[in-house]
Amino acid sequence: MVPRVIARGAAYAGRVSRDRPPALRIVLIVVATTVAAALLIALLSVATGERGERRAPRTTTAAATTTVPRNAAAARVAGPASAAGTGTGARTSVVATGRPSAAELDAQVAAARRPVAGVPRARTRAFDADRALSLVRLQVAAGPRPAGSDALAAVRRQLVRRLPRATTEAVAGSPGLVNVVGRIPGRAPAVVLAAHYDTQLRPEGFVGANDSAAGTAVVLEAARALSRRPRPAGAREVRFVLFDGEELPPGGSDATFEQDGLRGSKAYAVAHRGEVGALVLADYVANRGLRLPRELGSDPRLWARVRAAAGRAGVGRIFAGTGIGIVDDHLPFLESGVPAVDLIDWDYAQKNTAQDTIDRLSLRALDATGETVVGWLDAERRR
């Protein structure tokens, strides 16, 4: 993204120089060049301080223009995904550190339950946000849960118990990694609600309350809510998929996140090619002040149906506008021709930090997302 900024500055200088008097041309060219150089220095400075950024904005062919990200120094252009994975997901020997105490968890959960301004209250009651918040706590209590770790394996056993008709699938090319899949039977192609359930290796003590214990909790509670409803005649199959290995493996690079990460979703997209008709991914979906604009690469028609479900739940204003493009677990499906939507609040201030804890979440935000996806799933399976 740094060369792109310089190119824009140079093009601007060239354009004004053709339209102005000679003396003014020189001044404008010097100013434009100085601004471009200052931007480069600022971007490089930020880049050296944010090497822990795990997922960066990308350009996308889904829009006619390129959105300039706020954190341009950490940005990278999304290239072709390696559908089979990189094979860099060998089982890690990471020991869980920074596990919060029961008292800390109690205080954090209490903070998440407090009403906050800015997030509307859902008017539907299909989703149990209290149960979902308890599932966030269950995961965070295990501390850091990087892919392949014993901590994640222990959490996975708890998640499997809470999904209908649950199975596990080894992630091809990544020994020790396991996707978890629940399902409600129906006709093909399947409708999928997904999240990832592993956490980052960096920074130390990262417990990922919003990234992505909350997304995982939304998937689990949505599965419970939908499985308790009568299945409409002729309804489509619904799958609830928890991806392993979304985050970078040991030795992985932020510069090649799309190739090194997304291991579970890439493997699932290949193994189940032709079986999935639509996918919604829940990532940063429960933070205070939640806003979920359309991720730039997300399928516009599917997004419209998700937003319609949000409107029926009374939380439509959360799902407004268009954001930037994000390299995330929906990408392998988009590249396979499957309509997919990424629900992610990229403005979440605590992303990629050890401060991504339960007290940064909002019960009301968690409920708004949950009510929306349950409504979307129920409508989508009837299509």
Confidence at 18, pLDDT banded by 50, 70, 90: very low
Task: Say if residue 20's pLDDT is above 70.
Answer: no
pLDDT for the residue numbered 97: 60
Task: Say if residue 55's pLDDT is above 60.
Answer: no
pLDDT for the residue numbered 268: 98
pLDDT for the residue numbered 56: 52
Task: Say if residue 367's pLDDT is above 80.
Answer: yes
pLDDT for the residue numbered 2: 20
pLDDT for the residue numbered 112: 98
Residue 189: is the preceding peptide bond cis (ω within 30°)? Answer: yes
Q: Is 325 or 71 the better-scoring residue by pLDDT? A: 325
CA-to-CA distance for 175 and 241, rounded, in angstroms?
19
Confidence at 21, pLDDT banded by 50, 70, 90: very low
Is residue 215 within 8 Å of 342, Cβ to Cβ?
A: no
Reported pTM: 0.80
Task: Say if residue 12's pLDDT is above 80.
Answer: no
Confidence at 256, pLDDT banded by 50, 70, 90: very high
Q: Which of 86-95, 213-222, 247-256 has the lowest mean pLDDT?
A: 86-95
pLDDT for the residue numbered 294: 98
Task: Say if residue 278's pLDDT is above 70.
Answer: yes
Q: Is 374 or 80 the better-scoring residue by pLDDT? A: 374
DSSP 74: G
pLDDT for the residue numbered 119: 95
Confidence at 57, pLDDT banded by 50, 70, 90: low
Question: CA of 26: how far to CAs of 7, 13, 39, 85, in Å?
Answer: 18, 9, 20, 51
Q: Region 208-215: what's the mean pLDDT?
A: 98
Task: Say if residue 26's pLDDT is above 70.
Answer: no
CA contacts within 13 A on the Cβ side of 207: 24
Nearest 5°: the CA angle 155, 158, 160 is 110
Task: Say if residue 1's pLDDT is above 60.
Answer: no
Nearest 5°: the CA angle 178, 302, 328 is 40
Confidence at 98, pLDDT banded by 50, 70, 90: confident
pLDDT in tens, 318-347: 999 999 999 999 999 999 999 999 999 999
Question: CA quadruple 138, 143, 147, 148: dihedral positive or negative?
Answer: negative
CATH architecture group of domain 81-380: 3-Layer(aba) Sandwich (3.40)
SS3 286: coil
In the chain, domain spans: 2-73, 81-380
88-119 b/e (C-beta count within 10 Å ≥ 16 → b): bbeebebebeeebeeeebeebbebbeeebeeb
CA-to-CA distance for 86 and 220, rounded, in angstroms?
29
